[in-house]
Structure 1
Amino acid sequence: MNRTVLPRVGRSAQNLPDGTILGADQKAWLKDQVTGAGEAWHCWVNSIMLSQLAKPGGGYMFTDQWDGFLAERKEVLTHVAQSGLEDLVVITGDWHSAFVDDIRPDFADPATPVIGAEFTAHSITSGAYSPEWNATNGPKMGAANPHLKYFEGDRYGYDVYEVTPRRWSTHMRVIGDRRDPRSPVSTLTTFHVDRGRPGSYEDRSTSTSPAQYRRH
């Protein structure tokens, strides 16, 4: 498995036509890595959400993530698509809630192909949005983002990644009470990515678990 870490170094201000979150040197390095990638799982460890999170009616939920750097995101993901790189999985944090997304070169165009999957993990202890906010906004985010497959924000925990030559599995592990260090841990749900098949799917055994949005 090839692992690539994408830190936020050299970033510019948000929402500029030529804004950058990577900086010129890191972007050139990343594109070189994509061009020379072999046949393997390709894991991008990303500090902020890569996938689009649009608001109903226009605009974006937050532009401190990749939604504030639209041109660079499209450039990088178009390069991935044109290079023929397969088996891309992006793992992300920062949101304090769990998301599962399909990755497309142009999120504004659902006709562009799925080229990978992104898993954004819960936080273990850091505060998230209220259950009322999640219940209201989960369906809204799903309606405005056709690539969004899953959102769950009422729980706390972490992801465990189980990787074999043929399948990547993301197990969402959640804790009963973040204030209790002895709190029990359980698996809320599991999503899989099959080798050679871009995008993810939820395991049938956990597909009825609680969530504020799930695309059927």
Structure 2
Amino acid sequence: MRAPEEEPAPPPARPPAEPAGEAPPRRARRRLALRSRPRDRADSVNTSSRLLREQLWTLALLALVVLLLLVALTATARAPVQQWPAWGVRTLLGVFSFGALGATFSAARSLKGSSRRPRAHAQVSDARVTLSRAVLGALPGLAAYAFLQSRVLNLGDADNSKAFAIAFIAGFSERLVLKVAETFAGEQRAR
């Protein structure tokens, strides 16, 4: 013989719905607001930390690719770096790479600083923005190399190793390159 199956317990009774048009009492609204705040704050922190992590990984991947390009450039060259032609493809790729490395470090450093601000994800919200900032930051490296080769920026002998160091510094601090360009433009106007 079969045992009679027990029926499931009925669901707990719900409180009666409030009539349309009436707001919940003040105390209930305050409780609801207090309950949702920590969750909103936690969601905001999770989103910010996730975006920051993604951007740092993007920058690390870019730095790795640039370093591999530099290794490939030097490993496949027949002559030492100092003997590469001033405006040759290898030299320009090296300058661009060192400028990109400087810009990557600058972007990572600014991301670290923005993580302390409450709305870091609103300031740099996308990995594409971070990536483009790092790649476009390599352009001041090329500009600094042009200044070095044209003797506008006079630092003695303009060998390639010095040019790579200047490109890194220019990629890291594009404001420095802009200041040199503005100074040079001001001297040209004065003449």
TM, length-normalised to structure 2: 0.25
- Larger Rg belongs to: 2
Q: Select the structure that is richer in strand.
A: 1
Identify the structure with bigger relative contact order (alpha carbons < 8 Å, sequence gap 6+). 2
Q: Select the structure that is richer in helix.
A: 2
TM, length-normalised to structure 1: 0.23
